[in-house]
Amino acid sequence: MPVYDFTKQKLDLTYLQWNTSRESSGTAGSLLKAFEVNRGKKTYYKLSSYDPISGITGMESINELIVSRLLNILGVVHLQYQLLHADVLIDDRIYDTYLCSSLDFKEKGDRKITLVDEYDLEKRPGESILEFSDRMGWADRFYQMIVVDFLIINRDRHGANIELIKHKNHDMIPAPLFDHGLSLIYSCHSEQEVEVFDAMADLPVQSFVGSRSLFHNLELIPNDRLPVFRRLDQRDQDYIFNDLEDCLPASYKAKIWEIIWKRWEYYEAFRTH
């Protein structure tokens, strides 16, 4: 599988204007976002966690690339992320950092709405979000999302992190899956924390279409509708971590793969039991 999603040569992005987006999981710091329009196409940029004292820390941007590559393997419809090495300017200070970029998935004339807003507008009395999604024909895509979030320990799939898109003259459908930064070992800030991190932990999460337990969320999927993905293989870690040796210590890569592989084996056993 070709890899064209990492620009290692450092770019000058000091012209970008960054806006603050508070992390919704309650963790310290902010995720800074920016965009630019070039030849009619909008490109979004996102940094890892930032605060004025510590600067840019964390690995949320790298996570976006790792998960994007994983979803390429599994065959899941998702927003393609690119990792960039660049200089950025924040509060009159230049930072040499990694950030991720993505193209706007909307085409001219498209309309988008968050799932939480559409649910509030169109749900029937007493109808759960999964019942609503099933009635609208979206449930299978959201079942995929539940499994993906289980595999990567995504802590932040709130209702605004799930969007619907209406193409001109077409029905409304789920947008490509996006925003996976607060996952894997993003909360670990030392080798020691990485070493003791439990790959099979059932950490509390925000999940608009499920509960706060990723394991319980798997049980919300009907047995006959458990998603079947393209098969993950041990050799796929070479593709997932290709060219990331300068971004991630070996211990981080080992723990991330342990998370993905162990949870994949668990899901496959769960699906075929």
- C-alpha radius of gyration, the chain, whole number: 19
Per-residue confidence (pLDDT) for residue 1, from 0 to 100: 58
Reading the block at residue 220, the tokens are 């919300």
Q: Distance between CA atoms of 92 and 87, rounded to whole angstroms?
A: 12
Dihedral sign for Cα atoms in the order 251, 253, 259, 262:
negative
Distance of CA 128 to the CA centre of its chain: 24
Per-residue confidence (pLDDT) for residue 31, from 0 to 100: 80
pTM of the model: 0.94
Helix (H, G, I), strand (E, B) or coil at 224: helix
Q: Distance between CA atoms of 271 and 267, rounded to whole angstroms?
A: 6
| Cβ(11)–Cβ(97) below 8 Å | no
- Of the chain, the end-to-end C-alpha distance in Å amounts to 31
Exposure string for 100-121, b = 16+ CB within 10 A, e = fewer: bbbeebeeeeeeeebbbebbee
Q: Distance between CA atoms of 130 and 133, rounded to whole angstroms?
A: 5
Helix boundaries (H) for the chain? 60-74, 115-122, 129-136, 139-152, 191-196, 214-219, 236-240, 250-272
Q: Distance between CA atoms of 112 and 63, rounded to whole angstroms?
A: 25
Per-residue confidence (pLDDT) for residue 22, from 0 to 100: 45
Reading the block at residue 64, the tokens are 């976006």
Query: 10-residue block means of pLDDT along the chain (273 residues)?
Result: 82 92 44 91 94 91 97 97 97 96 90 96 97 97 98 95 87 94 95 97 96 98 98 97 95 98 98 94
Reading the block at residue 238, the tokens are 């070479």
Q: Distance between CA atoms of 76 and 135, rounded to whole angstroms?
A: 22
